[in-house]
Amino acid sequence: MKLPNRYGSVTKLSGNRRRPWIIKEGISGKQKVIGYAETKGAALAILASYNQNPWDIKTDKITLKELYELWLEKRAVKLGKSNQAVLKSAYKHCSRLSSMKYIEIKSYHMQDTIDECGRGASTQATIKSLWVHLDKFALELDIVQKRYSDILTSETPPETTKEIFTDKEVNRLWENKNLPWVDSVLFLLYTGFRISEMINLKIEKVDLEEQTMTGGTKTAAGKNRIVPIHSKILDIVKKRYSQSKGGYLFEHEGKRLKDGAYRKIWSNIMDTLKMNHTPHECRHTFRSRLDSAGANKVCIDRIMGHKSRDTGERVYTHKNIDELKLNIEKITK
Protein backbone atom coordinates (compact mmCIF):
# COMPACT_ATOMS: atom_id res chain seq x y z
CA MET A 1 0.00 0.00 0.00
CA LYS A 2 1.40 3.36 -1.03
CA LEU A 3 1.32 5.98 1.70
CA PRO A 4 0.25 9.58 0.93
CA ASN A 5 2.88 12.21 0.11
CA ARG A 6 4.62 13.62 3.20
CA TYR A 7 2.85 11.05 5.37
CA GLY A 8 6.06 9.26 6.27
CA SER A 9 7.42 5.77 5.66
CA VAL A 10 7.62 2.32 7.21
CA THR A 11 10.56 0.11 6.21
CA LYS A 12 11.85 -3.26 7.37
CA LEU A 13 15.52 -3.34 8.36
CA SER A 14 17.77 -6.28 7.53
CA GLY A 15 19.14 -8.69 10.07
CA ASN A 16 17.72 -10.38 13.18
CA ARG A 17 16.15 -7.56 15.19
CA ARG A 18 13.53 -7.50 17.92
CA ARG A 19 11.90 -4.43 16.34
CA PRO A 20 12.89 -4.53 12.67
CA TRP A 21 10.34 -2.00 11.38
CA ILE A 22 11.64 1.60 11.28
CA ILE A 23 9.17 4.51 11.16
CA LYS A 24 10.15 7.87 9.64
CA GLU A 25 8.08 11.03 9.52
CA GLY A 26 7.57 12.83 6.19
CA ILE A 27 6.34 16.28 7.19
CA SER A 28 9.64 18.08 7.71
CA GLY A 29 11.14 16.62 4.54
CA LYS A 30 14.14 15.26 6.49
CA GLN A 31 12.72 11.74 7.10
CA LYS A 32 13.44 11.89 10.84
CA VAL A 33 13.16 8.55 12.66
CA ILE A 34 10.22 8.55 15.09
CA GLY A 35 10.34 4.95 16.28
CA TYR A 36 10.67 1.20 15.73
CA ALA A 37 8.10 -1.63 15.87
CA GLU A 38 7.93 -5.42 15.95
CA THR A 39 5.42 -5.69 13.09
CA LYS A 40 4.45 -3.65 10.06
CA GLY A 41 0.94 -3.17 11.45
CA ALA A 42 2.29 -1.75 14.70
CA ALA A 43 4.62 0.53 12.73
CA LEU A 44 1.75 1.89 10.63
CA ALA A 45 -0.26 2.50 13.79
CA ILE A 46 2.60 4.54 15.28
CA LEU A 47 2.91 6.55 12.06
CA ALA A 48 -0.85 7.20 11.95
CA SER A 49 -0.82 8.38 15.56
CA TYR A 50 2.14 10.64 14.86
CA ASN A 51 0.40 12.23 11.89
CA GLN A 52 -2.58 13.11 14.06
CA ASN A 53 -0.40 15.66 15.86
CA PRO A 54 3.19 15.42 14.58
CA TRP A 55 4.62 18.28 16.63
CA ASP A 56 2.53 17.75 19.76
CA ILE A 57 1.12 21.28 19.76
CA LYS A 58 -1.95 22.64 21.45
CA THR A 59 -3.65 24.52 18.64
CA ASP A 60 -5.71 26.71 20.96
CA LYS A 61 -2.72 27.81 23.05
CA ILE A 62 0.25 28.12 20.71
CA THR A 63 1.64 31.66 20.69
CA LEU A 64 2.97 33.68 17.78
CA LYS A 65 6.52 33.14 19.02
CA GLU A 66 6.03 29.38 19.32
CA LEU A 67 4.46 29.13 15.88
CA TYR A 68 7.20 31.30 14.37
CA GLU A 69 9.95 29.15 15.91
CA LEU A 70 8.26 25.97 14.69
CA TRP A 71 7.90 27.50 11.23
CA LEU A 72 11.61 28.40 11.24
CA GLU A 73 12.48 24.80 12.04
CA LYS A 74 10.03 23.01 9.75
CA ARG A 75 9.30 25.30 6.80
CA ALA A 76 11.73 28.22 6.55
CA VAL A 77 14.63 25.82 5.96
CA LYS A 78 13.20 25.18 2.50
CA LEU A 79 13.57 28.84 1.54
CA GLY A 80 16.73 30.47 0.22
CA LYS A 81 19.16 31.90 2.78
CA SER A 82 18.58 35.52 1.72
CA ASN A 83 14.80 35.02 1.89
CA GLN A 84 15.15 33.49 5.36
CA ALA A 85 17.25 36.44 6.50
CA VAL A 86 14.76 39.13 5.44
CA LEU A 87 11.81 37.23 6.93
CA LYS A 88 13.66 36.83 10.23
CA SER A 89 14.32 40.56 10.19
CA ALA A 90 10.61 41.19 9.51
CA TYR A 91 9.66 39.23 12.63
CA LYS A 92 11.26 41.95 14.78
CA HIS A 93 8.38 44.22 13.75
CA CYS A 94 5.85 41.58 14.88
CA SER A 95 7.57 40.54 18.10
CA ARG A 96 5.38 42.71 20.32
CA LEU A 97 2.65 40.14 19.64
CA SER A 98 4.98 37.23 20.44
CA SER A 99 3.19 36.11 23.60
CA MET A 100 -0.27 36.41 22.05
CA LYS A 101 -2.10 33.19 21.15
CA TYR A 102 -1.99 32.87 17.38
CA ILE A 103 -5.64 31.92 17.22
CA GLU A 104 -6.48 35.34 18.73
CA ILE A 105 -4.43 37.39 16.24
CA LYS A 106 -6.75 39.17 13.83
CA SER A 107 -6.15 41.09 10.63
CA TYR A 108 -5.94 44.46 12.40
CA HIS A 109 -3.14 43.17 14.64
CA MET A 110 -1.19 42.08 11.58
CA GLN A 111 -1.94 45.30 9.72
CA ASP A 112 -0.68 47.38 12.66
CA THR A 113 2.73 45.68 12.47
CA ILE A 114 2.94 46.82 8.86
CA ASP A 115 1.55 50.33 9.32
CA GLU A 116 3.61 51.09 12.42
CA CYS A 117 6.94 49.64 11.31
CA GLY A 118 8.17 53.06 10.23
CA ARG A 119 9.84 51.61 7.15
CA GLY A 120 9.33 51.82 3.41
CA ALA A 121 7.47 49.70 0.90
CA SER A 122 10.09 46.95 0.76
CA THR A 123 10.06 46.25 4.51
CA GLN A 124 6.28 46.49 4.64
CA ALA A 125 5.98 43.93 1.85
CA THR A 126 8.34 41.58 3.71
CA ILE A 127 6.32 41.82 6.94
CA LYS A 128 3.20 41.04 4.93
CA SER A 129 4.99 38.09 3.34
CA LEU A 130 5.94 36.73 6.78
CA TRP A 131 2.29 36.84 7.91
CA VAL A 132 1.31 34.97 4.73
CA HIS A 133 3.88 32.25 5.52
CA LEU A 134 2.76 31.96 9.15
CA ASP A 135 -0.94 31.97 8.25
CA LYS A 136 -0.41 29.23 5.68
CA PHE A 137 1.47 27.16 8.27
CA ALA A 138 -1.20 27.79 10.92
CA LEU A 139 -3.92 26.71 8.48
CA GLU A 140 -1.97 23.56 7.70
CA LEU A 141 -1.84 22.73 11.42
CA ASP A 142 -5.56 23.48 11.92
CA ILE A 143 -4.71 26.35 14.26
CA VAL A 144 -6.84 28.76 12.22
CA GLN A 145 -9.68 28.29 9.77
CA LYS A 146 -9.09 31.43 7.67
CA ARG A 147 -6.10 33.46 6.55
CA TYR A 148 -6.30 37.08 7.66
CA SER A 149 -3.05 37.76 5.81
CA ASP A 150 -4.98 37.61 2.53
CA ILE A 151 -6.48 41.04 3.20
CA LEU A 152 -3.33 42.83 4.42
CA THR A 153 -2.03 45.84 2.52
CA SER A 154 1.35 47.53 2.22
CA GLU A 155 2.72 50.58 0.45
CA THR A 156 3.13 50.32 -3.30
CA PRO A 157 6.82 50.45 -4.23
CA PRO A 158 7.74 53.67 -6.03
CA GLU A 159 8.08 53.39 -9.77
CA THR A 160 11.66 53.07 -10.86
CA THR A 161 12.99 54.15 -14.21
CA LYS A 162 16.04 52.65 -15.83
CA GLU A 163 18.03 55.05 -17.95
CA ILE A 164 20.33 53.49 -20.49
CA PHE A 165 23.74 54.98 -21.29
CA THR A 166 23.68 57.27 -24.31
CA ASP A 167 26.17 56.87 -27.17
CA LYS A 168 27.88 60.06 -25.98
CA GLU A 169 28.29 58.62 -22.51
CA VAL A 170 29.71 55.35 -23.85
CA ASN A 171 32.17 57.35 -25.96
CA ARG A 172 33.13 59.38 -22.87
CA LEU A 173 33.90 56.16 -21.04
CA TRP A 174 36.14 54.99 -23.87
CA GLU A 175 37.90 58.36 -23.90
CA ASN A 176 38.62 57.90 -20.19
CA LYS A 177 39.25 54.14 -20.19
CA ASN A 178 42.65 54.61 -18.52
CA LEU A 179 41.11 56.15 -15.43
CA PRO A 180 40.99 53.68 -12.52
CA TRP A 181 38.11 51.22 -12.78
CA VAL A 182 36.47 52.78 -15.86
CA ASP A 183 37.37 49.50 -17.57
CA SER A 184 34.91 47.74 -15.24
CA VAL A 185 32.05 49.95 -16.46
CA LEU A 186 32.93 49.13 -20.06
CA PHE A 187 33.13 45.46 -19.14
CA LEU A 188 29.57 45.59 -17.75
CA LEU A 189 28.31 47.49 -20.79
CA TYR A 190 29.66 44.87 -23.22
CA THR A 191 28.78 41.71 -21.27
CA GLY A 192 25.42 42.38 -19.61
CA PHE A 193 26.81 40.98 -16.36
CA ARG A 194 25.44 41.99 -12.98
CA ILE A 195 27.87 43.34 -10.36
CA SER A 196 27.81 40.03 -8.48
CA GLU A 197 28.57 38.14 -11.68
CA MET A 198 31.50 40.40 -12.50
CA ILE A 199 33.15 40.38 -9.08
CA ASN A 200 32.73 36.61 -8.69
CA LEU A 201 34.17 35.80 -12.12
CA LYS A 202 37.30 33.69 -11.70
CA ILE A 203 40.05 33.73 -14.31
CA GLU A 204 39.71 29.95 -14.64
CA LYS A 205 36.30 30.68 -16.16
CA VAL A 206 37.82 33.00 -18.77
CA ASP A 207 38.95 31.31 -21.98
CA LEU A 208 41.14 33.80 -23.84
CA GLU A 209 41.74 31.38 -26.70
CA GLU A 210 38.03 30.81 -27.34
CA GLN A 211 37.27 34.38 -26.21
CA THR A 212 34.44 33.31 -23.93
CA MET A 213 33.59 33.55 -20.23
CA THR A 214 31.48 31.18 -18.15
CA GLY A 215 29.64 32.70 -15.23
CA GLY A 216 26.34 33.99 -13.94
CA THR A 217 23.97 33.80 -11.00
CA LYS A 218 20.26 33.91 -10.10
CA THR A 219 18.25 31.44 -12.19
CA ALA A 220 19.04 28.08 -13.77
CA ALA A 221 19.23 29.84 -17.13
CA GLY A 222 21.57 32.47 -15.68
CA LYS A 223 24.06 30.20 -13.94
CA ASN A 224 27.11 28.91 -15.79
CA ARG A 225 26.12 30.61 -19.02
CA ILE A 226 28.65 31.30 -21.74
CA VAL A 227 29.16 34.96 -22.65
CA PRO A 228 31.45 35.80 -25.60
CA ILE A 229 34.14 38.41 -24.96
CA HIS A 230 33.28 41.32 -27.24
CA SER A 231 36.27 42.33 -29.35
CA LYS A 232 36.10 45.88 -27.96
CA ILE A 233 36.80 44.72 -24.40
CA LEU A 234 39.20 41.87 -25.22
CA ASP A 235 42.24 43.97 -24.25
CA ILE A 236 40.55 44.94 -20.98
CA VAL A 237 39.93 41.28 -20.15
CA LYS A 238 43.47 40.27 -21.12
CA LYS A 239 45.00 43.00 -18.95
CA ARG A 240 42.85 42.13 -15.93
CA TYR A 241 43.61 38.44 -16.49
CA SER A 242 47.37 39.03 -16.47
CA GLN A 243 47.18 41.22 -13.33
CA SER A 244 45.14 38.73 -11.29
CA LYS A 245 46.76 37.57 -8.05
CA GLY A 246 43.81 36.10 -6.19
CA GLY A 247 42.20 34.20 -9.02
CA TYR A 248 39.49 36.73 -9.88
CA LEU A 249 39.25 38.83 -13.03
CA PHE A 250 38.42 42.01 -11.10
CA GLU A 251 40.29 42.34 -7.81
CA HIS A 252 41.07 44.98 -5.21
CA GLU A 253 44.58 44.75 -3.77
CA GLY A 254 44.91 41.16 -4.94
CA LYS A 255 41.69 39.98 -3.32
CA ARG A 256 38.12 39.39 -4.41
CA LEU A 257 36.32 42.69 -4.80
CA LYS A 258 33.37 43.15 -2.44
CA ASP A 259 30.01 44.48 -3.57
CA GLY A 260 30.02 47.47 -1.20
CA ALA A 261 33.54 48.47 -2.18
CA TYR A 262 32.66 48.35 -5.87
CA ARG A 263 29.57 50.53 -5.38
CA LYS A 264 31.81 53.22 -3.84
CA ILE A 265 34.16 52.90 -6.83
CA TRP A 266 31.14 53.20 -9.13
CA SER A 267 29.94 56.34 -7.37
CA ASN A 268 33.37 57.98 -7.77
CA ILE A 269 33.42 57.18 -11.50
CA MET A 270 29.95 58.64 -12.00
CA ASP A 271 30.97 61.84 -10.14
CA THR A 272 34.22 62.18 -12.09
CA LEU A 273 32.59 61.71 -15.50
CA LYS A 274 29.42 63.68 -14.63
CA MET A 275 27.06 60.75 -15.13
CA ASN A 276 24.10 59.49 -13.15
CA HIS A 277 23.61 55.76 -13.61
CA THR A 278 23.34 52.62 -11.51
CA PRO A 279 25.49 49.57 -12.31
CA HIS A 280 22.37 47.61 -13.27
CA GLU A 281 21.68 50.16 -16.01
CA CYS A 282 24.70 48.72 -17.84
CA ARG A 283 22.70 45.51 -18.17
CA HIS A 284 19.68 47.39 -19.52
CA THR A 285 21.94 49.29 -21.93
CA PHE A 286 23.51 46.05 -23.14
CA ARG A 287 20.13 44.50 -23.91
CA SER A 288 18.84 47.68 -25.55
CA ARG A 289 21.89 47.95 -27.80
CA LEU A 290 21.57 44.30 -28.85
CA ASP A 291 17.89 44.83 -29.64
CA SER A 292 18.64 47.96 -31.65
CA ALA A 293 21.37 46.16 -33.58
CA GLY A 294 18.92 43.42 -34.60
CA ALA A 295 20.48 40.61 -32.58
CA ASN A 296 18.69 37.26 -32.46
CA LYS A 297 16.21 37.19 -29.54
CA VAL A 298 17.17 33.68 -28.46
CA CYS A 299 20.86 34.63 -28.45
CA ILE A 300 20.09 37.73 -26.39
CA ASP A 301 18.26 35.61 -23.82
CA ARG A 302 21.14 33.14 -23.64
CA ILE A 303 23.76 35.84 -23.20
CA MET A 304 21.67 37.66 -20.59
CA GLY A 305 20.80 34.46 -18.75
CA HIS A 306 17.06 34.81 -19.33
CA LYS A 307 14.81 31.84 -19.86
CA SER A 308 13.47 31.73 -23.40
CA ARG A 309 10.63 29.60 -24.72
CA ASP A 310 12.62 29.07 -27.89
CA THR A 311 15.94 27.95 -26.46
CA GLY A 312 15.07 24.34 -25.68
CA GLU A 313 17.88 22.58 -23.85
CA ARG A 314 20.66 24.99 -22.92
CA VAL A 315 23.46 23.03 -24.60
CA TYR A 316 26.44 25.02 -25.84
CA THR A 317 27.81 23.55 -29.07
CA HIS A 318 30.48 25.16 -31.24
CA LYS A 319 27.71 26.17 -33.61
CA ASN A 320 25.61 28.11 -31.11
CA ILE A 321 28.68 29.60 -29.38
CA ASP A 322 29.69 30.99 -32.78
CA GLU A 323 26.16 32.31 -33.12
CA LEU A 324 26.42 34.04 -29.73
CA LYS A 325 29.71 35.62 -30.81
CA LEU A 326 28.20 36.78 -34.08
CA ASN A 327 25.29 38.44 -32.31
CA ILE A 328 27.26 40.12 -29.52
CA GLU A 329 29.54 41.71 -32.13
CA LYS A 330 26.50 43.47 -33.57
CA ILE A 331 27.15 46.11 -30.89
CA THR A 332 29.56 48.24 -32.86
CA LYS A 333 29.36 51.69 -31.24
Give the pLDDT confidence of 205-262 residue by residue, as tens digits.
999 999 999 987 655 545 678 999 999 999 999 999 999 999 999 998 888 998 889 9
Instruction: Please write the tens of the pLDDT for every residue from 33-81.
Output: 888 999 999 988 888 877 776 666 788 899 999 999 999 988 998 888 8
pLDDT higher than 50, residue 311: no
Q: How many CB atoms lie within 10 A of CB 333?
A: 10
The CA distances from residue 318 to 82, 311, 329, in Å, are 37, 16, 17
- Tell me if 222 sits within 8 A of 179, measured CB to CB: no
- What is the average pLDDT across 123-149? 94
pLDDT above 90: residue 274: yes
More confidently predicted of 159 and 213: 213
Phi-psi region of 211 (alpha: psi -120 to 50; beta: other; left: phi over 0): left
Contact 48, 65 (CB under 8 A): no
Say how many C-beta atoms besides its own lie within 10 A of residue 181's C-beta.
16
Assign 121 a pLDDT band (cuts: 50, 70, 90): confident
Question: Please, which pLDDT band fits residue 309 given cuts at 50, 70 and 90?
Answer: low
- Over residues 86-114, the pLDDT tens digits come to 999 999 999 999 999 999 999 999 999 99
